[in-house]
Amino acid sequence: MLNPQSPIPLYRQLADLITTRIRTGQYPSGARIPGEPQLAKQFIIGRPTVRQAIETLVRKGLLTRKRGSGTFVCESQQEIDLFSLEGTLASFQKKGVTPSTRLVTPINRQQVAAHPHNPFSGHEAYYFSRLTEVDQAPVLLEDFYLNLDLFSGIENMDLEGYSLSAIAEEQFYLRPAGGKQLFSIGYAQGRRAKLLDISAQTPILLVHRLLHFPQTQAGVFAELWCRGDKFAFSQTIGGAVYA
């Protein structure tokens, strides 16, 4: 029950209680929670207090309001350890998710435009772009830049549907020795927004990934546009990351 003598506001206490019920499964994913009148009566508080507690959980993404139907527990997102050594395809498959990938820009050799994080800026590199979909819905767009010497001949290989990490290890005997990732909120424009099926005003997780190899530093640079509304993308602490 709620404690009116506590320094913690009643709406916060109620929000915490509802959160606990969600976490323990008392209010399962997708279920409708009791309405404002029922909660107000159950906890002997005013409806404005109940409304404030629910609004807090809506902002946190735990609850969602459906006009004319009530308030529901948000469907839980599957967590994908996208930034592990195993690679994109393996990370999805490990969670029982079957993704499909397709090249939206075939691999080619090109002069790289200026970019504050891309080590290949002003130089030539192999480039290709790949879109990952789950249940025919786009969830991830990746732009890759590869060192010409490390990946010499890759332009003659069929990359469609294959893991870059597997190709690098099996064909080029390459495994990353370290790297760096920068996380930020980005806004996809033009072609990227269209491929991801979002508007230019939709915030999205943007990751800049740089990988080093024993043979050379900065062997791979990737820009990842991740739809966090579809999956909760996570990273395991420790070890290198790949693509």
Name the strand (E) or helix (H) holding 105: strand 100-111
Whether 1 and 45 have beta carbons less than 8 Å apart is answered as no
| β pairing state of 203-213 and 216-226 | antiparallel
Among 159, 150, 151, 98, smallest CA distance to 129 is for 159
Domains in the chain, CATH or no CATH each: 10-73 (1.10.10.10), 79-233 (3.40.1410.10)
CA–CA dist 206, 186 (Å, integer): 5
Q: Mind listing the pLDDT tens digit of every residue in the chain (243 residues)?
A: 799 889 999 999 999 999 888 878 899 888 999 999 999 999 999 999 999 999 989 887 789 999 889 999 987 655 544 444 345 665 665 656 677 889 999 999 999 999 999 999 999 999 999 998 888 889 899 999 999 999 999 999 988 877 888 888 888 888 888 888 888 999 999 999 999 999 999 988 898 989 998 888 899 999 999 887 766 565 554 444 444
Residue 97 CA, chain-centre distance (Å), reads 14
pLDDT digit string, tens, across residues 86-112? 456 656 656 566 778 899 999 999 999
pLDDT digit string, tens, across residues 33-68? 999 999 999 999 999 999 999 998 988 778 999 988
Among 136, 132, 143, smallest CA distance to 206 is for 143
pTM for the complete prediction? Answer: 0.62
* Overall residue count recorded for the chain in this entry: 243
